[in-house]
């Protein structure tokens, strides 16, 4: 029981998970019992009594003696970890097509990718297997699968959650956040992650806020994305913001350098144990110069200041931004990584809080991000609650008024 809401118990959750083993949403289940909030934890986070695989076969199979600080905080608030969720290997990919633990399937669109890297967490929530699930986000790894699976995915301000005992992808950009069926549950989940159940107590939709879109962002969307985007943002003003190409380039440079530094020992000794799509960019990172990395860090600082100034000077509380350039690709489609990360990675570079909400759309899930100001996580969640309520009332066709709240 949490904030007066009754959740499933652990054994019921495990029965559901076993019944949907076809989804490959989990790598391993625990034997934890009891009443409480049933949570799945992405298998890059230490959970006592389990092996932290990182979704790979590279690391030695050592059982964690203790929980990561974030899991310990969750337990203080009544969470029960029912299992470790599947992911794109080492959290470095956008499909969660894991060569070692199976391809995570999308419960809401079975012929389309679940997204990554927190694909198992998103699938578990979308299929109703857990109350909420813990994910990580370095370039969109919470928001992309949330968008493709039709659930809510919240990336808090970078630095607001302790990432100790989490297998890193990029220590400068990594953060932890919840995937949930709705914004209210995401807010409660984030309070549990903080070990402070009162943090989100009494949260209500915010009616006192100013929204905007970014000038020029959204011009490259595919037809289905554009339709949903146009409905959700109709009537909103646009503001200038740092160029998306610059934000993406700087973020990916930092990620490559830091990921390669962490993996160097295994890249030099057991490269054959990596999936090909993860091995290639990691090896590219090994070839990156220290000067390129330092320049990227310097440029990141400048872009963060510009992003903050852009919203502050134009008195904007939140931005609406597409979650992906395209709708969820089919399992057999060819597409570019940037088709799914091009609109999410910028906000790992700036460090701002961001949440992906299911858009008012037809047939297949589509996500739209709401971007808050740095450190204003609760305000962002309150704005997202208002948008979620407004969008629920919209009809996909024949909408006259949309985008205001």
E strand or H helix at 27, and its extent? strand 26-29
Tell me how far the alpha carbon of residue 237 is from its chain's centroid: 27
E strand or H helix at 371, and its extent? strand 367-372
**114's tokens:** 């679940």
Q: What share of the chain is helix, strand, coil (3-state, %, to 5)?
A: 35, 15, 45
Block residue for tokens 């968008």: 147
Selected catalytic residue, list 56, 96, 141, 160: 141
- Residues 109 and 148: beta-carbon distance below 8 Å: yes
**317's tokens:** 């509380």
What is residue 340's three-state secondary structure?
A: helix
Checking 55-61 for CB contacts under 8 A at 24+ apart, the result is 55/27, 55/86, 55/87, 55/88, 55/89, 55/90, 55/91, 55/98, 55/100, 55/101, 55/117, 56/89, 56/90, 56/100, 56/273, 56/274, 57/100, 57/273, 58/90, 58/266, 58/270, 58/273, 58/274, 59/167
Residue 332: exposed, middle, or buried by beta-carbon count in 10 A (0-12, 13-18, 19+)? exposed
- What is the spatial distance between Cα 213 and Cα 196, in angstroms, rounded to a whole number? 33
- What is the spatial distance between Cα 290 and Cα 268, in angstroms, rounded to a whole number? 19
Where do runs of H (alpha helix) occur along 150-222? 183-193
Of 248, 262, 265, 258, the closest CA to residue 288 belongs to 258
DSSP 91: G
Selected catalytic residue, list 56, 84, 96, 117: 117
Assess whether 42 carries a catalytic annotation: yes
What are the Cα distances from residue 179, in Å, to 10, 49, 147, 190, 279?
Answer: 18, 23, 10, 10, 27
Q: Which residues pair with 29 in a beta bridge?
A: 83
180 CB neighbour count, 10 Å cutoff: 24
Active site residues: 42, 117, 141
């Amino acid at each position: 029981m949490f904030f007066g809401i009754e959740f499933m118990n652990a054994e019921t959750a495990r029965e559901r998970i076993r019944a949907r083993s076809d989804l490959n949403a989990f790598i391993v289940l625990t034997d934890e019992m009891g009443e409480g909030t049933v949570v799945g934890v992405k298998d890059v986070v230490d959970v006592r009594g389990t092996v932290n695989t990182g979704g790979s076969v590279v690391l030695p199979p050592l059982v964690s003696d203790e929980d990561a600080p974030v899991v310990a905080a969750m337990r203080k608030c009544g969470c029960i970890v029912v299992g470790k969720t599947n992911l794109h290997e080492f959290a470095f990919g956008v499909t969660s097509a894991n060569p070692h633990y199976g391809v995570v399937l999308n419960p809401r669109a079975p012929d389309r990718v679940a997204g990554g890297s927190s694909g198992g967490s998103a699938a578990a929530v979308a299929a109703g297997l857990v109350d909420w699930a813990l994910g990580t986000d370095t370039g969109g790894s919470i928001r992309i699968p949330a968008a493709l699976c039709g659930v809510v995915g919240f990336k808090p301000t970078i630095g607001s959650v302790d990432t100790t005992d989490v297998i890193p992808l990029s220590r400068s950009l990594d953060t932890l956040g919840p995937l949930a069926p709705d914004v209210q549950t995401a807010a409660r989940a984030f309070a549990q992650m903080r070990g402070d159940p009162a943090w989100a107590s009494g949260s209500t939709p915010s009616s006192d806020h100013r929204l905007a879109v970014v000038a020029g962002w959204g011009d490259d969307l595919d037809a289905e994305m554009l339709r949903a985007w146009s409905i959700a943002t109709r009537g909103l003003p646009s503001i200038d913001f740092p160029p998306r190409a610059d934000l993406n380039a700087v973020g990916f440079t930092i990620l490559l350098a830091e990921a390669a530094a962490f993996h160097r020992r295994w890249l030099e000794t057991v490269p054959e144990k990596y999936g090909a799509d993860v091995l290639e960019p990691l090896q590219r990172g090994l070839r990156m110069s220290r000067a390129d990395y330092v320049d990227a860090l310097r440029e990141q600082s400048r872009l963060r200041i510009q992003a903050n100034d852009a919203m502050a000077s134009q008195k904007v509380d939140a931005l609406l931004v597409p979650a992906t350039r395209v709708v969820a690709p089919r399992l057999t489609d060819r597409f570019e990584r940037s088709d799914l990360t091009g609109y999410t990675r910028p906000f790992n570079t700036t460090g701002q809080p961001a949440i992906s909400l299911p858009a008012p759309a037809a047939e297949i899930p589509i996500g739209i991000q709401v971007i808050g100001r740095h450190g204003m996580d609760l305000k962002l969640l309150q704005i997202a609650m208002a948008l979620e309520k407004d969008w629920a009332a919209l009809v996909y066709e024949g909408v006259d008024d949309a985008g205001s709240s």
